[in-house]
Amino acid sequence: MGTRLQHQTVWISGAASGMGEGVARLFAREGASVALIDVQAAKGLAIAEEIRSEGGRAVFIECDVRHEASVRFSIAQTVVEFGGLQSLVNCAGIVQVKLLHELEVADWDRLMDINVKSIFLSIKHAIAHLKKNPRSYVVNIGSIGSFISQSSTPAYIASKGAVLMLSKSIALDYAADGLRCNCVCPGITDTPMLREHLNMTPDPEATLKSRLRRVPMGVPLTPNDIAKAALYFSCEDSAGVTGTSLVIDGGYLAAAEWEHPGATRFMEPQMGLREKGGSGYSRITLPTDS
């Protein structure tokens, strides 16, 4: 158990799966009291129970982050459970694969509500509590899609651009209150969301392999890789850092060319890297991983 988040209570949306789950597990191991927020109650309850059985402090609060009353309640409940609130990590998100002219207004609204409006709502209802602390933290999950576009995901890309800029705006307006707000921007990360996306293709493993050819390191990121970046932004290791982003992408955005990289050698795509232990998902092949 670490101590970097001792005395912190953290509200984490999307905590029943993928990155949010990784954040909840890592933050609890670093001493935080964690409130797991999600619509997936069975999964969220089980993860919170597992964290508690390992000696951590965790509760699950069922909440649809699209709805103001629900978000407000989840924040209030977190404060009741743990006696305060120092941090938010906004991980809840969805992706839609459709060309813009195929999107219904309801599709657009749903994605924007989950990916962007939820951040507005969580900060709106947490700010009075956050301000009571000399220091407080908000981490939002953007994407490499905060910087570049991807095929057939117009609402998603628009939402991730918005997440990055919203993070900067929050950083500016609440700096004087001791709040720091930053954005973690992941590349291809092995989560249920990615798997669901790959499963829509005829050969999911082949699709992943072909996508990884674009990645200089040749591996998908793990939820724990992303959680470690969120941890950095949620403690004084990042003192002085606000309104910025940290891209965790295995080199994806650094590569303008990948099919014909010239003399540059990319890592061969490495598959089957995921294993789940008590501490969550982690990569099993890279010796430097901890």
Nearer to ligand NAD, 19 or 164 (CB): 19
- Considering only 121, 141, 227, 229, the residue that binds ligand NAD (CB under 6 A) is 141
Cβ atoms 233, 139 nearer than 8 A: yes
Rule CB under 6 A: is residue 234 a binding residue for ligand NAD? Answer: no
Size of the site for ligand NAD (CB under 6 A): 28
The helix (H) or strand (E) run that includes residue 20 is helix 18-29
- Considering only 78, 191, 224, 245, the residue that binds ligand NAD (CB under 6 A) is 191
Q: Which residue has the tokens 């670093």?
A: 30
Q: Which residues contact 36 (CB under 8 A, 6 or more apart)?
A: 12, 15, 16, 20, 24, 44, 47, 48, 58, 59, 60, 61
Residues recognised as catalytic: 156
Question: CB under 6 A: which stretch of 37-45, 49-57, 126-134, 237-245 binds ligand NAD?
Answer: 37-45
Q: State the nearest-atom distance from the C-beta of 81 to ligand NAD, in Å.
A: 18
Q: State the nearest-atom distance from the C-beta of 261 to ligand NAD, in Å.
A: 22
Tell me the C-alpha distance between 121 and 119, whole Å.
5
Nearer to ligand NAD, 133 or 250 (CB): 250
Considering only residues 77 through 136, tell me which ones interact with ligand NAD, judged by CB under 6 A: 91-94, 114
Nearer to ligand NAD, 109 or 177 (CB): 109
Distances (CA, A) of 160 to 117, 154, 200, 286: 12, 10, 22, 29
Q: State the nearest-atom distance from the C-beta of 253 to ligand NAD, in Å.
A: 12
What is the three-state SS of 142-154? CCHHHCCCCCCCH
Count CA atoms closer than 13 A to 184's CA, side-chain side. 30
Question: CB under 6 A: which stretch of 27-35, 64-72, 123-131, 254-262 binds ligand NAD?
Answer: 64-72
Q: State the nearest-atom distance from the C-beta of 66 to ligand NAD, in Å.
A: 5
